[in-house]
Each structure stands twice: as C-alpha cells, then as structure tokens.
C-alpha cells in the first residue's frame, strides 16, 4: 500500500504541475532569500566593516520580516492548490480510497514537494551568497571583498523554519480533509461565498475608515508625529481596503445592474454578472493585491530615497571635513566673556590641536549662536523651556536658534543692517505675527525681515529643525541679547587630506584627546565630528536599509504575482463552463473576447488604482518620515515616487499580459 501511495503522490504532483509550478518557484525563491538574509546577518567578515553592529541588527530585522512574509505566501499558495484539487481528492474517496490513505498521500506530496523546492532554494542561496555579500558591501560604500563562508548553522536555521511551515501546512490540510465529506470535496471548487449582508452599511463603514485614515496622513505637520500616525493610518487603510473590496465594489456593481440601459447589453450583462460572482469569491485576493502593491511601492520609494539621499544627509550632519562644537552655558548657568574673545581662543586652540595631529587647514569657519527649546508661541512671546521642562508636552516643543548678523553674512554673503532692537526671522511651522515685536524674556525686537529659507542648512549641523518646528533669529550682536539658554560655538574645518587620511587622523584624535578642553575657558560641553566617519556610519545604515528594501520589494512583488496568477487561473477554470454555455446559446467569439477583456481589465487594474490612491494620500506622511531620517530633498522624493509608480505599473502590465494569455487559453480549452 505504501508503494501505491508513494506512486500516487508523485503522479499527482506531475499531473497538477500547472498548479504547483508557481508554488514551487515561490518556495524555492523564498528559501534562497531566507538563506541569504540568514547568512549575511551571521557573516563573520561583516564584523570587520565600519558600523557592523548597525548593519547586523538591520539585516536581522529584515530577516524576520522576510520569514513572516514567506510564511503568509506559502499559506496562501497551499490553500489555493488544495482548493483547486478538492474535486480530484473527492473523487479518490468516491472510488474507495479511505480518509487515512488520502491523508497519507497528501502528507507524502507535501514532503516530496518541500524537499525538492527548499533543497533547490538552499543550493541557489549558497551559490549566490558571495555575489549578494559583494552587493551589500557596494551599497554600503565599502571596499568589495569576494568572500563566502558556508555555515551549517545558517542552512539548518532555514531548514528548520521551512520544516515548521510545511508541518503547519500538512496539519492544516489534514484537518480540512478530515472535516470534509466526499460530496463537499467534489463540490468544493465550485462553492462561492455566500451573499453578503448589510452591504451598504459595510460600504459606508469602509469609506468612513478610509477617509479618516487619509485625513490622518494629510494632517501631519511634524516629522516627530509622522511615524506613529503612519502606522495607525496603515492599519486603518488595510481594514478599509478589505471592507471596500468585500462590500463596496459589490454595492457599486449592484447599482450598475439596476441601470437597465447599461446592464442589458450583451458585453456589460456578462461582465457585470461575472464580476459580482468574482467579487463575492475573490474580494480578499484583490484586496491583498492592492495592499501588497502599496507596500511594494512605498518600500521602493523609502529605500531608494534613503540610499540616494545619503550624501545630502551627510552634508547636513557634517557641513565640513572636521566639526567642533563648544558649549559655554546651559540652563542659565553662564560662563561667558565677550563672543569675540571666546571665538579667538577656540580658533587658536582648535588650530593647535589640528596641527599637532597632522591636519593641514585649507578653510576654517566659526559661528557662535544661541540654541534652545521653546514652547508654542503665544502673542509673539518666546517661552523658553525651563530646566525641568514642566508644562510642556513632547509635541509642543519648538526649537530656537539665534545668530548674529556677522554669521548670517558669512553663510549667505548678504547684509541685513540690523539695529540692536531688530531681528530677521526664518520660521518653520511656527506661527507668529511679523507685524508685531517678538518678545524674548524682557526684550522686544521688531521684525525687519522675514527670511525665505533656512540659511543655516549645509552651514551648521543644526538638524533639530528637521524634526521639530523651528524659529531662527538673526540679531545685530549676540552680546545684546540677554538669553538664558545654551550658547555654542561651531568651528568647521576643511582640509586637503584624502578620505583615508582624514579617517586615520579622526581615529587618532578620538583615541588621544576626546575630552581635552582649552585651559583659559570653562566649557559646559564640547563635541567633534568627521564627515568621513559620518559617511561610513551613514552608509553602513542606509546601504543595508536600501539592500533590505530591495529584497523586501522583491518578496512583495513575488507575493503579488503569485496571488494574481493563482486568482486568474482559478477564475479561468470557473468561467470556462459559463462561456461554453453562453456560446451554445448564441454568444459569438468576438463578444466572448470583448467580455473577457473588460472583466480582466476591471479586475486587474482595480487593485492597482487603489494602490496609487493609497500612495497619493500617504505621500505627505511618507515625506515627513524621510525628513526625520534626514532626506530633505523634496524634489528627489517626488522624482523617486513617480519613477517607482511607473516601474511598478510596467511590471504590473507585463503580469497582466502574461496572465491574460493564460486565462484565454484556459477559456478556449473547451
């Protein structure tokens, strides 16, 4: 009996190869991707790369997402295959095969299928390991070294994970077969979903949830609020999409059926009737395609922007080759001479340290400014945040910078000619009346000019204005402002050294005297930075994030194509009998083709339309999240978004053309 069961299992896999080919391809690719992520995150050579800890953590996070997505894909594919084999399995029981034998046969099928597909996937993973590791190093802007380390622990981890998945699928299949009678199995493929109830109420609920999610996305003004709002909106959009595909579209089709002038035309009658049936049976599949499409596009936009915009981010964080920050006062505890005296001492001390460390100076800039955290402005009153931050919530925080006119001229080359009681103001999402004086403590300043842009961008690393609403003031002289907040001096140095030499000098500086201070000044804090070191650290993160984004995009795309293909083939088999009947009662081939085209175009491009609509409303909050990371080039974000949409539309259209051919071939096969 065992030999018969084994033979039947092998024969069934070959006989149903059209169903199993996509399942096998997805399983093999999933095993390959899972192995690559596992291997990369445990690659011992990665520890030698600058920022290795960040890269490893990022890869491990991506690995968990990939493994979860893989499990969902295989669950869907298995469900589709078993559903379409329901009649075949039912006939086996009618012909005398006992349930125990049927369960054993499907178990053997699962074992054979998993061994072959996961085995091939692991082999491809091992072959591609060296290449993918080199690509990862390339995206991180690290010297590419072609090394490959096979570790049995990585392979065993992947094998164990897929063993658990297929064990779960075997249990699920066994439960389904055990609870189904022979008659239910024979009719299983033809059973559609029952007619929905309260469709109008569900539609209104779905529209309400979707509108609220869109409102949340459009109402975000601060990058700090963007991430929690984004995740909330994502959950709401997913729920609304499933509700609208389940009830909303059916309600719309029912409305079309009530329009007699439209409905009672041969092509429309057939298309709308079939669409109503399809939506009852495949609404969840279409909604899943819409969600996966949205995830693919957003992942591509985020990954590409983070990677391509990395240089912008570095230029903001480190405007010069070497940067030094000196803090003179904090929370009102002042230790100050005149600004000019302090700057002269710091420039001399910094120059001496650089000279001792073998760093030639080609350019040096010095800016002294006030930096502080303030609450929301009321009646043009700047409210400084006190020492204990009482009375302020996190979302009420604004940032304040005050520069003198000399610093403004050094950054922009423009003169403002301010008097001691005048200010020029740049505001980012901070409301104030430019026609009224701005009050700081006991002092009032008349607004002489409202500045059109943040003049400190790429000049000083004051990146708090990216995260929080900000106010940047320019006064005639800082010594004229009695402001009890942090007063800092920024010194930026450019050098003629190569990047390798800069990194060496920076590491020497960090090792020898990171906390050394000038003896003639009492500082409350100081810090330093290197553009080369920041670039290495940034691309270690953004490169690995971009790498993960590309892989996740491939996984999401693979899942989307799988759902589309299985949905189309399933519907083709269901529609074939109906079209045969209609041709027998007088429907010609031309009308059949027209009806097929209309159905496929509607069903195929409906999820894509939802995906683009979701993206349009998510664009603002997505831009805010990228701004929080440091991507301030809005033109780049928009350009990447448009190209990502165009690229995905092209891929989607290609899948449409391929599956349309398969659909028509199935329809014509009878």
What is the C-alpha separation between 491 and 325, in angstroms, rounded? 7
Q: How far is CA 65 from CA 68, 226, 377, 545, in A?
A: 5, 22, 43, 13
Give the range among 294-303, 332-341, 364-373, 422-431 with minimum mean pLDDT: 332-341
Closest CA to 385 of 485, 488, 487: 485
Give the integer Cα–Cα distance in Å for 337 and 521. Answer: 9
Residues 349 and 288 in one domain: no
Mean pLDDT over 266-275 rounds to: 69
From 504, 584, 607, 635, select the one nearest 249 (Cα to Cα). Answer: 607
219 and 295, same domain (yes or no) = yes
User: Which of 168, 191, 214 delimits the end of a domain?
Assistant: 191
The mean pLDDT of 439-445, rounded to a whole number, is: 82
Q: Which two tokens stand for residue 668?
A: 């014509």
Question: Could you tell me the pTM of the whole model?
Answer: 0.70
441 shares its domain with 343: yes
Q: What share of the chain is helix, strand, coil (3-state, %, to 5)?
A: 70, 10, 20
Q: Which ranges constitute the DSSP H helices of 179-265?
A: 182-187, 199-219, 223-243, 249-258, 260-263
Measured in degrees and rounded to the nearest 5, phi and psi for residue 480 equal -85, -5
Shared-domain flag, residues 661 and 593: yes
Buried b (16+ CB within 10 A) or exposed e, 136-166: bbebbebeeeeebeeeeebbebbbebbeebb
Residue that terminates a domain, selected from 173, 191, 209: 191
Residue 524 lies in a domain: no
* 28 and 175 part of one domain: yes
With both helix axes pointing from N to C terminus, report the angle between 99-139 and 86-94 in degrees, rounded to the nearest 10.
160
**Do residue 182 and residue 85 come from a single domain?**
yes
Do 662 and 582 lie in one domain? The reply is yes
Residue 178 within a domain: yes
Same domain, 542 and 634: yes
* Residue 334: pLDDT over 50: no
Structure confidence at residue 331 (pLDDT): 44
Specify whether 300 is located in the same domain as 344.
no
Check if the beta carbon of residue 144 is closer than 8 Å to that of residue 138: yes
Residue 210 token pair: 């979707």
Residue 505 lies in a domain: no
Tell me the pLDDT tens digit for each residue of 216-262: 888 887 666 777 888 888 889 988 988 888 787 777 777 777 777 77
Q: Looking at the structure, do residues 414 and 539 belong to the same domain, yes or no?
A: no
Quick: pLDDT tens for 562-617: 777 777 777 677 667 666 766 666 666 666 666 666 767 777 788 889 999 999 99
- Return the higher-pLDDT residue of 649 and 481: 649
Q: 42: domain range?
A: 1-191
User: Phi, psi (5° rounding) for residue 322?
Assistant: -130, 140
Q: Quick one: which H or E segment has residue 340? A: helix 339-356
In this structure, are 246 and 139 located in the same domain?
A: no
In this structure, the answer to whether residues 554 and 424 fall within a common structural domain is no
Arithmetic mean of pLDDT, 165-178: 88
The CA R_g of the chain, rounded to the nearest whole Å, is 32
Q: How far apart are CA 357 and CA 359, in angstroms?
A: 6
> Of 247, 237, 233, 236, nearest to 284 (Cα)?
247
Contact assessment for residue 526 and residue 517, using Cβ atoms and an 8 Å cutoff: yes
Q: Is residue 51 part of a domain?
A: yes
For residue 332, is it left (φ>0), alpha (ψ between -120 and 50) or beta? Answer: left
Note whether residue 396 is domain-resident.
yes
Q: Which tops the pLDDT comparison, 327 or 189?
A: 327
73 pLDDT higher than 70: yes
User: What does the pLDDT look like over 393-410, one tens digit per residue?
Assistant: 666 678 888 999 999 999
For residue 481, what pLDDT band results from cuts at 50, 70 and 90?
confident
According to the 3-state scheme, what is the secondary structure of 133-198? HHHHHHHCCCCCCCCCCCCHHHHHHHHHHHHHHHHHHHHHHHHHHHCCCHHHHHHHHHCCCCCCCC
- Per the structure, the count of domains in the chain is 3
Is 503 part of any domain? no
Asked if pLDDT for residue 329 goes beyond 90, the answer is no
Q: Do 429 and 220 touch, CB atoms closer than 8 A?
A: no
Tell me how far the alpha carbon of residue 213 is from its chain's centroid: 18
Is the pLDDT at 185 greater than 80, yes or no? Answer: no
374 belongs to a structural domain: yes
Using DSSP's 3-state secondary structure scheme, residue 246 falls into helix
Question: Is 526 among the domain residues?
Answer: no
Taking every pair of Cα atoms in the chain, the longest distance, rounded to a whole number of angstroms, is 102
Q: Using alpha carbons, select from 454, 488, 486 the residue that is nearest to residue 473.
A: 454
Domain termination site, one of 165, 191, 217: 191
């Amino acid at each position: 009996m065992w030999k018969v069961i084994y033979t039947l299992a092998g024969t069934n896999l070959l006989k149903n190869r059209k169903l199993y080919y996509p399942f096998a391809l997805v399983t093999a690719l999933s095993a390959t991707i899972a192995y690559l992520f596992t291997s990369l995150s445990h690659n011992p050579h990665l520890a030698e790369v600058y920022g290795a800890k960040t890269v490893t953590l990022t890869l491990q996070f991506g690995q968990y997402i990939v493994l979860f997505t893989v499990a969902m894909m295989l669950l869907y594919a298995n469900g589709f295959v078993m559903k379409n084999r329901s009649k075949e399995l039912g006939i086996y029981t009618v012909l005398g095969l006992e349930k125990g034998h049927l369960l054993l046969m499907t178990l053997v099928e699962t074992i054979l299928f998993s061994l072959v597909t996961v085995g091939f996937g692991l082999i491809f993973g091992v072959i591609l390991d060296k290449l993918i590791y080199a690509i990862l190093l390339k995206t991180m802007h690290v010297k590419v070294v072609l090394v490959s380390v096979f570790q049995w622990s990585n392979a065993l981890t992947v094998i164990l994970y897929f063993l658990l998945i297929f064990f779960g699928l075997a249990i699920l299949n066994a439960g389904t077969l055990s609870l189904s009678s022979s008659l239910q199995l024979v009719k299983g493929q033809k059973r559609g979903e029952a007619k929905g109830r309260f469709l109008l109420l569900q539609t209104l609920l779905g529209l309400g949830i979707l509108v609220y999610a869109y409102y949340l996305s459009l109402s975000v003004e601060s990058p700090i609020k963007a991430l929690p709002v984004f995740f909330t909106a994502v959950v709401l959009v997913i729920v609304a999409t499933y509700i609208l595909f389940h009830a909303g579209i059916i309600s719309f089709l029912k409305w079309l059926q009530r329009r007699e002038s439209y409905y009672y035309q041969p092509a429309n009658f057939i298309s709308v009737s079939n669409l109503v049936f399809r939506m009852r049976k495949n609404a969840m599949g279409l909604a899943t395609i819409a969600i996966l499409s949205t995830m693919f596009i957003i992942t591509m936009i985020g990954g590409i922007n983070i990677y391509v915009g990395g240089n912008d981010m570095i230029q903001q964080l480190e405007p010069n080759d070497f940067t030094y920050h000196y803090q003179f006062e904090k929370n009102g505890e002042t230790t100050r001479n005149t600004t000019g005296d302090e700057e002269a001492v710091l420039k001399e001390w910094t120059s001496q340290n650089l000279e001792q460390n073998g760093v030639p100076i080609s350019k040096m800039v010095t800016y002294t400014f006030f930096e502080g955290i303030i609450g929301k402005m009321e009646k043009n009153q700047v409210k400084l945040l006190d020492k204990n931050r009482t009375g302020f919530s996190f979302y009420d925080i604004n940032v304040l910078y005050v520069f003198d006119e000399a610093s403004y001229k050094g950054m922009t080359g423009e003169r403002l000619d301010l008097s001691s009681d005048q200010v020029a103001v740049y505001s980012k999402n901070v409301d104030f009346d430019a026609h009224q004086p701005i009050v700081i403590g006991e002092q009032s300043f008349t607004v002489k000019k409202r500045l059109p842009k943040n003049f400190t961008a790429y000049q000083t690393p004051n990146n708090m204005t990216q995260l929080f609403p900000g106010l940047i003031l320019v006064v005639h002289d800082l010594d004229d402002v009695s402001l009890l907040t942090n007063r800092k001096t920024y010194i930026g140095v450019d050098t003629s050294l190569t990047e390798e030499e800069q990194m060496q000098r920076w590491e020497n500086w960090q090792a020898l005297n990171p906390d050394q201070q000038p003896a003639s000044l009492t500082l409350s804090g100081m810090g330093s930075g290197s553009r080369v070191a920041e670039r290495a650290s940034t691309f270690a993160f953004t490169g690995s994030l971009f790498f993960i984004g590309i892989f996740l995009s491939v996984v999401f795309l693979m899942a989307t194509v799988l759902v589309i293909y299985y949905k189309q083939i399933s519907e083709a088999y269901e529609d074939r009998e109906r079209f045969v009947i209609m041709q027998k009662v007088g429907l010609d081939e031309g009308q059949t083709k027209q009806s097929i085209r209309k159905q496929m175009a509607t069903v195929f491009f409906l999820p894509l339309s939802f995906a683009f609509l979701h993206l349009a409303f998510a664009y603002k909050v997505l831009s805010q999240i990228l701004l929080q990371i440091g991507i301030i080039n809005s033109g780049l974000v928009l350009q990447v978004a448009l190209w990502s949409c165009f690229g995905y539309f092209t891929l989607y259209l290609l899948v449409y053309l391929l599956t349309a051919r398969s659909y028509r071939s199935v329809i014509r096969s009878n």
